[in-house]
Chain A
Amino acid sequence: MSDHQLRVSKIPRGTVIDHIRAGQALNVLAILGIDGESGETVSVGMNIPSDRMGHKDIVKVEDRELSQDEVDVLSLIAPEATINIIREYEVAEKQYLERPERVVGVLSCPNHNCITNADEPVETKFDVLDDGVRCEYCDTIVREDLAAHIAVE
């Protein structure tokens, strides 16, 4: 089996997240809460040559479709990604990412003095800006390295 075949090998059902910006694959796994202990079969390709992007990453998760929350956060760190829902070895749906207006309960606020970092019964809420996100509680704007603020369970 050639390298090429290995990379594109088909899965029976699940999700293929393609055109992830090179270097972001592990962050994508973090968003999906995949740490190798949950039992899913996951394949990761990194730095794969791509006509459109130069290099790209790709993540395939078997037997799993993504929730809207997961898709929303993906759109923040991998805006060019395409999500292919696979059923019976075929692409059943193709989804392009759209930036949401806000993300709730997914990112943690980098401001230690923010009320969302105190022990209070409140979820984080971030408004999505053109070039970052902004905490609705303390107004802190996060532009770089959003993936570092993903609150993974």
Chain B
Amino acid sequence: MRDDHLITAKQLSREDVESVLDRAAEFDADPAAFGDRHEDAILGLCFFEPSTRTKMSFETAIKRLGGDTVDMGTVESSSVKKGESLADTARVIEGYADALVLRHPSQGAAKMVGEFVDVPLLNAGDGAGHHPTQTLLDLYTIRENAGLDDLTIGIMGDLKYGRTVHSLAHALTNFDADQHFVSPESLKLPRSVRYDLHEEGAMVREHTELEEILPSLDVLYVTRIQRERFPDENEYQEVAGEYGIDLETLGPAKDDLTVMHPLPRVDEIAPEVDDTDYATYFEQAHNGVPVRMALLDQLLEGDR
């Protein structure tokens, strides 16, 4: 497998993260100034499940660098529908593009495709598995707002299925960050993630109540509690309210708390929070473009 595929946040050392974030900051300062950097580059977009925003963010990033995209379209209209394997589809599309972006519903899909293709591959989400580019834009946002060292972060919501959480938690072990995990008992971190964090020597502190740790937090990273995960609607209703935040919940928080969310949100963060200095989730979403520009720049540069 090529070593410049980006499959999981686990591959990223502190140096890797810092070099992408530093470069992203340069693009962020003047995104329109780099339109001739990769004029002939073609990025192949392989989205086997819909994700309009992630896809648009990659499209914007490559176009800002002067490149363009080829897109396999929706799964319904492609040969996948006719039963072609993912491995075959990817091997065909790699012939059209200088790099590939893959979003797929199966866990491990990106790792497998990485074993078959020769152009650099970016994993844009594989089921409940990994989403490393999201992690990098999360880290970028954290660094801009709170710094990555001497950081106390609370990660709250669906920690069991939330792939953004798994990748982020792992990446944060590179830094001097205290991580607290807040979730209902039924949505705690899966054992494979706890295993990795222990292996990295990180302390895993788990809570069911946000109040226990809110006053000490520099960052609160909220994720959606996914209704469809609950076998029983009542069970969902019981926990959903407990893990939403509004101005009242945030009362005991530090003034400079940074509230993040990978979006889309449903009702985890009340709209009244949007106009406060806490709210950083839209900025977080916008950071996807410079961060993906930095990643693409690195991959396409390495290809010359």
Contacts and interface: CB of A to CB of B under 8 A. Distances in A.
A137 B109 CA distance: 8
B111 A113 contact: no
B112 A137 contact: yes
Interface stretch (A5-13, A29-37, A43-51, A116-124): A116-124
B108 interface: yes
B180 to A, nearest CB: 22
Given A138-B129, A139-B129, A118 B106 contact: yes
Nearest to B107: A138
B86 A120 contact: yes
B163 to A, nearest CB: 11
A135 interface: yes
Contact of A141 (B105, B109, B115, B195): B195
A4 B107 CA distance: 52
B87 A138 contact: no
Chain A interface SS verdict (over half): loop
Chain B contact patch, size range:
20 to 34
A150 interface: no
A140 interface: yes
Nearest to B88: A121
Contacts of A116: 108, 112
Interface in A113-146: 113-116, 118-122, 129, 134-141
A140 B106 CA distance: 13
Contact of B111 (A111, A118, A136): A136
Interface of A: 111, 113-116, 118-122, 129, 134-141
Q: What are the 3 tightest A-B residue pairs by CB atom distance, in nearest-first order?
A: A137-B108, A138-B107, A115-B108
7 contacts: A113-B105, A115-B106, A122-B115, A129-B195, A136-B111, A139-B193, A141-B195
